[in-house]
Homo-oligomer: A and B are copies of this chain.
Amino acid sequence: MRLVDSLLQGNIRALAKAITAVENGLPGAEEILTALFPYTGKAHVIGVTGAPGAGKSSLVDCMIAYYRKLGKTVGVVAVDPTSPFTGGALLGDRIRMQDHFLDDDVFIRSMGSRGSFGGLSQGTKNVIRLLDAFGKDIIIVETVGVGQSEVEIMNVAHTTLVVLTPNAGDTIQVLKAGVMEIADIFVINKSDLDGAHRVKTEVEAFLCLKEKLEEKDEWDIPVIPVVAIKNQGIDSLCTSIAEHKAHLLGTDKWLEEQRLRLSKEVQDMAALKIREHIFNELKNNAQWEQLVDKLYNKSLAPYEAVDYILDNFFNSVYDNRYK
């Protein structure tokens, strides 16, 4: 395909076109992804998550600058509805993104917070794959770490940063949403503010407890103070990120995880296709509408209607294997 060839040759417009095709499920999207798949797997995918207002975007900004100085190319996928990258910052934008917009080796893409083709999680994975095939060395995925779907998105990252701040009293609460478990590195942003030490201590206490409860992992999760807005602590953070990558590569975890993720991703994709298939089949289906009437009259219960769908659309398979 010409688009695929152009993309592999480093044509940014081809990349943008491919992303649009993939995001919106345009004809040819699957073929593009299939053709590019052999070229993926080289990028280091870094997830950045945390509560709204934690300064994730400022941090990402600093990280872009750091990696660009090292001569690395960077892709950013922002799925955070509160991120200035996604146009979420209505109330004044403190981000110096303008610098990077003029840099051809930084590609920034925001994902809508809902309704991406194949779901937000799959959409994000697909866009990361395109950036990877395009040849980006570093791909940063920024997401707000409160919702379940956002946590799922973070599964695509090799290294996940969880960003905390001293002034957010709710920080620890927010982390209960399952974010604690996915952190490879904790970042205490705004660490020049009062309370930074307290947050650091809290996180370290949590990590100590976690270590005692779980089987020992070889990776000691670091807690790194930074002040993104002043570009402080970024070297130390990015050194930790590199160490985490080295750790993954050294223990075969990188490859092992990739295998598991691919398996799960394909199963998710298949389930999604089947779901779409059901939805299409039942649209304007007279027999189904009669069943919905029964549901509505409470003469049929939801799980009974589920059986109808399974019996009628998946009878051969379902009867033989499942029941």
Contact across chains for B273 and A310 when beta carbons are under 8 A apart: yes
In the complex, identify which listed stretch (A70-78, A242-250, A314-322) lies at the interface while the others stay far away: A314-322
Chain B: minimal CB distance from A51 (Å): 7
> What 1/0 mask marks residues of chain A from 24 to 61 whose CB sits below 8 Å from any chain B CB?
00000010011101101100000000011100000000
Select the residue from A53, A81, A144, A321 with max chain B CB neighbours within 10 A.
A81
Contact across chains for B267 and A176 when beta carbons are under 8 A apart: no
Distance between Cα atoms of A11 and B178 in the complex (Å): 34
Contacts of A281 in B (CB 8 A): 321
Contact across chains for B30 and A270 when beta carbons are under 8 A apart: no
Chain B: minimal CB distance from A223 (Å): 18
Contacts of A169 in B (CB 8 A): 53, 91
Contact across chains for B262 and A177 when beta carbons are under 8 A apart: no
Contact across chains for A37 and B269 when beta carbons are under 8 A apart: no
In the complex, identify which listed stretch (A99-107, A158-166, A208-216, A291-299) lies at the interface while the others stay far away: A291-299
Contacts of A270 in B (CB 8 A): 278, 306, 309-310
Chain B: minimal CB distance from A151 (Å): 8
